[in-house]
Structure 1
Amino acid sequence: MPSRNYQAPNLDFTNVLSLLELCVKCKINCKIKKSIKDKLIEKAGKEGAQCASLTWAGERKDVGIARLALSQMNIQIFLHPRLPNKLDPAQWDDFLFWDVMTKLPSLWQLTIWRPTIQ
């Protein structure tokens, strides 16, 4: 059987996130899911959606996505996060840093906080 290279379609962040949700629900092939996760991180970096990918990862305990999202953040993104609007994902809402932190698992909050206050 020939080896296949899977490439995620060129979508915006919220659509890639929806596609990844579908892959998770339908238990899609790991190679395809990895390609879509890679596209998610790429789009998060380009569209300033690192906090959205971090909270998504927190809801699913996906440490890999969380680490990549954190590695793309600068202080501005960290302190002034944006998340897709729940009613209209094409719209983005500004949040306070605390709002995003409370969406993460408790252990993740401590892990993120420790180096920032030392």
Structure 2
Amino acid sequence: MKVLSLLWELWSGLSFQTKLTLCSMVVFTALGLPRTEFSLMWHELRVAVGLQNCMEDFTDPLMTALASGDEGSIDHALGPEKPQQLKSCGNHAIQHPEGTIPFVLDEYRRGTLSHSQK
């Protein structure tokens, strides 16, 4: 309770412009709209990680198929639709990056899944 009281005192002591700036930073960051240098870096990071995830989704089945040595699984991993899927995934990652909350949840899910498979 003391922490909340201290935070309220700090908040009450801020100017209206500072309060507005802090609130807009939180809202714009949560929505994934770049407003500051930090927000722009966060946006670029989400785009880069999205592209990396597309590449991993393309290469992981291929590497597994190559490790198994099974011709059928290699042919399936190199199917004719795979390059088009990779291209559309990359275009989507660049043109429509996820918002902050879906991005964090997806990365948590991807990290949890990769740790449970090992």
Instruction: Give TM-score scaled by structure 2 length.
Output: 0.24
Structure holding more strand per residue: 1
Instruction: Give TM-score scaled by structure 1 length.
Output: 0.24
Structure ID, larger Rg: 2
Where relative contact order (Cα < 8 A, 6+ residues apart) is larger, the structure is 2
